[in-house]
Amino acid sequence: METFEQIYRAYFTDVYRYCLKLCGNADEAEELTAETFLKALQALSSYRGECELRVWLCQIAKNRYLSEQRKHKPEPLSDTLESAEPSPETVAVRTDEAERVSEAVHRLDEPYKEVFLLRVYGEMPFENIGKLFGKTANWACVTFHRAKAKIKAELEEKP
C-alpha cells in the first residue's frame, strides 16, 4: 500500500476536479477536497481494494458533498402559500414530455439505448457499465453522452 502522502499527490488533482464538477465553485471544491482526504486518511484502514483508489476517493467526495447538501436543504414553505401541487395543465405537459423522451430512448440503437437506461434508471456508475460491455468507464461515459445528444436532437426536431 502506498503512503498517504503518495496517495494525496497522485490523486489530489483528480479528486479536486471531481469536486469542482460536483459543486461548481472553486472554493467549495478545495474545501470538499480537503475534507475528502481527511476522511480518507481516517478510513484508509477500511479500504478493501474492491475498486480503484481514485474511485474510492471520489465516492468519499460525493458522499461528503451530498451530506452537506442535505444539511442545507431549503426550509419548507409556509402553509399560507399556495399548494406545491402542480396544476393539471403542468401535469399534462410533463406527461407529454416524458412520453416523448421515452419514445426517443426506445428508438436509440444499441449500445446507446442500454447504456442510457443503465445510467439513468439503473443509476449505475460508468465503471460498472463499461465492465458490462467489456469496455472502459470512459467508453461508457462517451456512449451515454452521445445517447443524450441523440435524444435531445430528436426532441428538438419534433417539437
What residue ranges define each of the domains in the chain, with the CATH number in brackets?
Answer: 4-71 (1.10.1740), 101-157 (1.10.10.10)
Residue closest to 33 by CA, chosen among 66, 11, 10: 11
Q: What is the value of pTM for the model shown? A: 0.46
Angle, CA of 126, 19 and 24, to the nearest 5°? 105
Residues 17-73 pLDDT 10s: 988 888 888 999 999 999 999 998 888 888 887 888 888 898 899 888 888 888 776
Distances (CA, A) of 109 to 112, 149, 150: 6, 13, 10
